[in-house]
Amino acid sequence: MDDLNDKIQKAADWIAESATVVVFSGAGLSTESGIPDFRSPGGVWDKYDPEDFSFQNFLASEKSRERYWQLATEMYESIKNAPPNDAHLAIAELERLGKLDCVITQNIDGLHVKAGNSEERVIQLHGTSLYVTCLSCNKRYERDPIQERIRQGIRAPYCDDCGGPLKPATISFGQSMPVEEMQEADRRSSTCDLFIVIGSSLVVQPAASFPLIARRSGAKLVIVNRDPTPYDSVADLVIHGEAGVTMAGILQKVRKMVTN
């Protein structure tokens, strides 16, 4: 099945036939919305040493927290106004059509919800850049008011209630993965009948384990990614291409099948 149209049709057929569809999304979706891939050449990790921004360093000193917030501000500026792309919109439409169990995402940009997915159906493995949390009392803040403090000259903000350090609600190097989200992603992966990877290189662990969990549990595995991944050989269907164009094509066919 080398013809792209045949592959798109097959993916659409499987979505229409499936009772439980899980989508797993990665950085390839974000880049198509204009958000830089921070790991690629020219990304922020070319300018900063990731080890300088580990969770342990954040906790260790005021200077480290100031440097962390400098980086976090640079990253947030590229995220906050980014629009959902055609792949995000297609995934949201699958939910409205009753064909989506959940989205498991490695992304921190909030674009699935902005596109129209329900918050309760989006499992954010690496957290979200749209909120800030206090590491002492867990109070949650909207991000923009905290960024305003940074603009006013506060280099490392602290909690209004307890005085604890504030940190973007994302998972940093060396920080534990969120237990509840990991458990829920494992459960959803184990019980779905179709698992669709979109825009992920599938090299960042432990998140990249979920496609294999789904496959070993009996689900069909579809991979939509611009470049080859380590799991292409075990997938039932692989489409190498841009996520937006591919998912828009798949959605068009799904819509015809489930609405007629």
Which residue numbers are catalytic? 126
Q: Are 102 and 188 in contact (CB under 8 A)?
A: yes
**What DSSP string runs through 175-222?**
PPPPHHHHHHHHHHHHH-SEEEEES--S-STTGGGHHHHHHHTT-EEE
The whole-angstrom separation of Cα 72 and Cα 258 is: 42
Dihedral of the alpha carbons of 122, 127, 132, 134, in degrees to the nearest 10? 120
Q: Are 144 and 48 in contact (CB under 8 A)?
A: no
Q: How far is CA 16 from CA 70, 183, 219, in A?
A: 46, 27, 14
Beta-carbon neighbour count of residue 2 at 10 Å? 5
Which residues are bridge partners to 133 per DSSP?
A: 140, 167
The whole-angstrom separation of Cα 16 and Cα 101 is: 13
Residues sharing a CB contact under 8 Å with residue 239, sequence separation 6 or more, in sequence order: 4, 7, 8, 11, 222, 223, 224, 225, 246
